[in-house]
Amino acid sequence: MSDKLIITIDREYGSGGHEVARRLAEKLGIKMYDEELISQAAFNIGYREEYVKSNDEKAPEINISPMFSGIDVFQSSPFSKIQDEEFRIIREISAKESCVIVGRAADYILSDEPHISIFIFAPVEDRIKRKLALIDINGTEPMTEAEMEKKVKQRDKQRRKYYEFYTDNKWGGRETYDVLINTSRSGINGAVAMIEAYINTAKGKDLLSDM
C-alpha cells in the first residue's frame, strides 16, 4: 500500500466540516482543498472566480431532461465545464499528493483511488447557532435566526442535489462513507482526533483481516 493519504470530507452546512479538514490537514502536514478548487478551476478555464463560485457544488438548474434538451447542450455549457474541471483537478491532485478534499463528490470521483471518506454532521439547531456565532466572530453581515435557518436548509439541499446528480449514492447516507461523525457531540478536535486514530490504526485493514 502506498504512503499517499487521501481523505475526503463531505459535510452538512455549518457542521464544521471545513474546520475539521483544515485542522486535520495542518496536523498531518498535507494540503487541504476546498475553495482552492474554485480558484484553481477558474484560473484553468479562464472564467471569473465569482462566476465559478456561484456555480460551485450545485446541480444544474435544468427543468427538462438532457434527453430532450440535448445532452450535448448540457455538456458544453459553462456550468458543466466548471464541474468537469473541478473533478479533473480532484483526480490530478490526488494522483500526485496526500491531501484532504472537502465536498464536491470527491469520494465518488475517487472511487478507484484508495481513500478515506468522512461525513461530518450535526443537528440543524446547533448548526444554526454555530453559524450565527461565527457572524459575530467574523464580523460578517448580520442575519436573524430565521434567515440563518433558511440558509442552512437551502445549502444542505443544494449539496444533496449536487451529490446525487453526479453520483449513484445517497448524500449523508451511512452506506456512502467510511465514518460519520456528529460534531455536536465530538467538537471539531474530537472529530480530528478520531480521523487521526483511524489513519494510524485502520490503514489497509478490513473486516476479514482483523476479525
Site for a copy of itself, rule CB under 8 A: 15-16, 19, 116, 119, 121-123, 126-127, 129-130, 133-134, 137, 172-175, 177-194, 196-198, 200-202, 205-211
Asked if 120 and 34 touch (Cβ cutoff 8 Å), the reply is no
Whose Cβ is closer to a copy of itself: residue 97's or residue 196's?
196
How many CA within 13 A on the CB side of residue 81?
12
Residue for cell digits 460534531? 183
Rounded to the nearest whole angstrom, what is the least distance from the CB of residue 119 to a copy of itself in the complex? 7
> Smaller CB distance to a copy of itself: residue 59 or 193?
193
Q: For the residues of 5-41, what is the DSSP string, one character each?
A: -EEEEEE-TTSSHHHHHHHHHHHHT-EEESHHHHHHH
Beta carbons within 8 Å of 94's beta carbon, 6+ residues apart: 6, 101, 106, 110, 113, 115
Question: Looking at beta carbons only, is 70 or 187 nearer to a copy of itself?
Answer: 187
Q: Give min distance, CB of 169 to a copy of itself, in A.
A: 13
- Least distance between a copy of itself and beta carbon 203 (Å): 8
Q: Nearest CA to 129 among 116, 145, 108, 113? A: 145
Calpha distance 173→177 (Å, rounded) = 7
Cβ proximity to a copy of itself, 104 vs 131, nearer residue: 131
Quote the least distance from Cβ 117 to a copy of itself, whole Å.
8
* Choice between 37 and 118, CB closer to a copy of itself: 118
Query: Nearest approach, Cβ of 10 to a copy of itself (angstroms)?
Result: 12
The residue to which cell 490526488 is assigned: 94
